[in-house]
Amino acid sequence: MNEKVTVKAGTFDAFKIEGTDGRSDRPYPIRLTFWYSPEVKAIVKLDGVAEPDLRPVPGFQFELVKYLPIRQ
């Protein structure tokens, strides 16, 4: 899915990618949502929430805060 995502570094067109981290070393799976920007060539945002109550999981949040495009 292609959508706009706004982070501290700006607003980017990004692909939304969803998945689940279901490792057996924790009592609950984590639902992960990544936003990948082809312009930045990187993930610009990540949200991780615990299932089933969808509370944020510490350490599973990321947001791009600065982006300086390379000029050629």
pLDDT, tens digit, 9 for 90 and up, residues 9-61: 999 999 999 999 887 787 889 999 999 999 999 999 999 999 888 899 888 99
* Residue 27 resides in a domain: yes
Is 14 domain-assigned?
yes
Question: Letter for the amino acid at 47?
Answer: D
DSSP 22-46: --TTSSS-EEEEEEEETTTTEEEEE
**The pLDDT of residue 67 is above 70:** yes
**CB of 64 closer than 8 Å to CB of 40:** yes
Asked whether residue 68 is assigned to any structural domain, the reply reads no
What is the count of structural domains for the chain? 1
Tell me, yes or no, whether 23 lies in a domain. Answer: yes
Look at residue 26 and tell me if it is in a domain: yes
Mean pLDDT within 60-71: 91
* Enclosing domain of residue 24: 2-63
Cis before 52 (ω within 30) = yes
Locate tokens 């700006």: which residue? 10
Per-residue model confidence (pLDDT) at position 11? 96
Question: What pTM did the predictor assign?
Answer: 0.83
pLDDT at residue 2, rounded to an integer:
87
Q: Residue 1 has what pLDDT?
A: 58
